[in-house]
Amino acid sequence: MKPETPLLTVDTIIQDPSGRVVLIRRKNDPFKDCWALPGGFVEIGETVEEAARRETKEETGLTVELDRLVGVYSAPERDPRGHTVTVAFLAHAAAGALEGADDASEASWFEDPFRVKLAFDHAQILHDCLRGETSV
């Protein structure tokens, strides 16, 4: 019998040299129309790194290079759909043009990402990343 376990997701903080970060506006619930980090569920047979690059490309049109692990976020209440664990990465854009697609109705660069309502625990993830801290 398989144990019941949390679902696995990834989130990506895309930062440019001036410090701006990319946020997407969520097209679907939960947090429909709120801003969020690009990310999503890891597929079977995929590494978290592959998932981060794939989800980022699908939602933003950007091909990214991952720079470092920001942290693992596992609070059982962080996602209203159920217990979900996310692995968050800092990345930079390597190619592509920014545009919202897939689960994102919009994608944009933000000089101050805290000025908008952020979905899930993405404010905490951003705080940790921008302070250079790693969360486990």
What pLDDT digit, counting tens, does each position of 77-125 carry? 999 999 999 999 999 999 999 999 988 999 999 999 999 999 999 999 9
**Number of domains making up the chain:** 1
Average pLDDT of the chain is 95
Structure tokens at 120: 């899930």
Residue 135, pLDDT score: 61
Q: What CATH code is carried by the domain that includes residue 107?
A: 3.90.79.10
Q: Is residue 65 part of a domain?
A: yes
Neighbours of 29 (CB within 10 A): 10
AA identity, residue 30:
P
Marked catalytic residue, from 46, 49, 58, 106: 106
List, edge to edge, every strand of the sheet that includes 35-36: 35-36, 21-26, 104-110
Residue 2 lies in a domain: no
How crowded is the C-beta side of 135, counted as CA atoms within 13 Å? 22
Q: Are 87 and 2 in contact (CB under 8 A)?
A: no
The pTM of this model reads 0.93
Task: Please indicate whether residue 106 is annotated as part of the active site.
Answer: yes
Identify whether 50 is part of a domain: yes
Is 126 within the bounds of a domain?
yes
